[in-house]
Amino acid sequence: MSNINIIIEERPADIGHFLVGRLLPFRDKRMVGPFIFIDHMGPAKLSDHENIDIGPHPHIGLSTLTYLFDGAILHKDTLGTEVEITPGQVNWMTAGKGIVHSERTPLHLRHSDKTLHGLQIWVALPQDLAEMEPTFYHAAADEIPAWETDGVAYKLIAGAAFGRQSPVPVYSPLFFLEIKSPTTQTIRIGDELVGEAGLYILEGSIESEGFTYEPKRILVAKNSQLCEFVIHANSTVYVFGGEPFPEGRHIYWNFVATSLERIEQAKQDWRNQNFPILAGETDVIPLPPDLSNLKQKP
């Protein structure tokens, strides 16, 4: 990508019996547009006795986006949602004033060998919608806009670009694009982007200004309007970003807010069991100690 401002490498993070590669937040770049958190899950091979079991936990002030390349996750939340997400689909959960959910290996996979690979993403809500009622949206794979240009395959997972609109109900101007190419091509998409832009390399490599960049890193552009790069053959990249908010965000555990007071309220609400209860789930995740590396001042 032309005019690269910062390069963010994946860092290992333990989310409870499962190691992920954390990309955002980063000490020198806390957000890209409204995108405030990105984890790369796997690829992981799990045996017949290993399963993902992330018990009930809360969120406020954000939307979560789950996008899988391989495997399956069963999502349950306090809206009554129970849905299995599989590759190519999009789970979009908007926490607003507060929601509780769990993420587990589906029952039909719990006693067999399996794999899991995907992205877990948080998108902060605009300040005036931070306390909205929680919602959930599941998009089937064939609902996501997909097209080819000069042999390059594009998919608009969320937001708007190229005169197209994803069905995922976002709440601020943003984009989340998948780009796959079987051949080496020059990609020029700056005119289609708004606000800030980041590029995540999943597989293969790209070239920009004479430098080659390989997987497991985000490249953040100085100016999204100058987004241009060479994608090498058999590569997959994700371009994401959007209009940044005028005010900053604090982040603690699963809570995102514009004020520390709101974060403290959410912490107390979770301690005092004031969040909605997820029926049939007992392994509730307790509030962790202060995570100073995940705090952000406006």
* Chunked mean pLDDT (size 10), the chain, 298 residues: 59 59 69 91 88 94 97 96 97 98 95 94 97 98 96 97 96 97 93 90 90 86 74 96 94 94 96 94 88 44
Beta bridge partners of 39: 22, 120
294 is a domain residue: no
Q: Is 138 annotated as a binding residue?
A: no
What's the CATH code of the domain at 168?
2.60.120.10
Given this model, what pLDDT does residue 131 score?
97
In this structure, the number of other CB atoms found within 10 A of the CB of residue 25 comes to 22
138 neighbors 90 (Cβ within 8 angstroms): yes
Given this model, what pLDDT does residue 245 score?
95
In this structure, the number of other CB atoms found within 10 A of the CB of residue 135 comes to 15
Into how many domains does the chain fold? Answer: 1
> Any idea which residue has 């990249």 for tokens?
237
136 is a domain residue: yes
pTM, full prediction? 0.90
Given this model, what pLDDT does residue 23 score?
72
23 is a domain residue: yes
16 is a domain residue: yes
Q: Where are the beta strands (DSSP E) in 125-151?
A: 135-139, 146-149
284 is a domain residue: no
Collapsing DSSP to helix, strand or coil, 55 comes out as: strand
Residue 253 DSSP one-character state: T
Given this model, what pLDDT does residue 5 score?
57
Q: Dmax over Cα atoms in the chain, in whole Å?
A: 56
Burial class (CB in 10 A: 0-12, 13-18, 19+), 108: exposed
Show the domain range for 141: 4-242
Q: Indicate if the alpha-carbon torsion angle 287, 292, 295, 298 is positive or negative.
A: positive
Q: Is 57 annotated as a binding residue?
A: yes
190 is a domain residue: yes
186 is a domain residue: yes
- Report how far residue 69's alpha carbon sits from residue 72's, in angstroms, rounded to the nearest whole number: 9
Given this model, what pLDDT does residue 1 score?
43
What tokens does 15 get?
Answer: 């989310």
247 is a domain residue: no
Given this model, what pLDDT does residue 59 score?
98
Given this model, what pLDDT does residue 132 score?
98
What are the percentages of helix, strand and coil residues in the chain, rounded to 5? 10, 50, 40
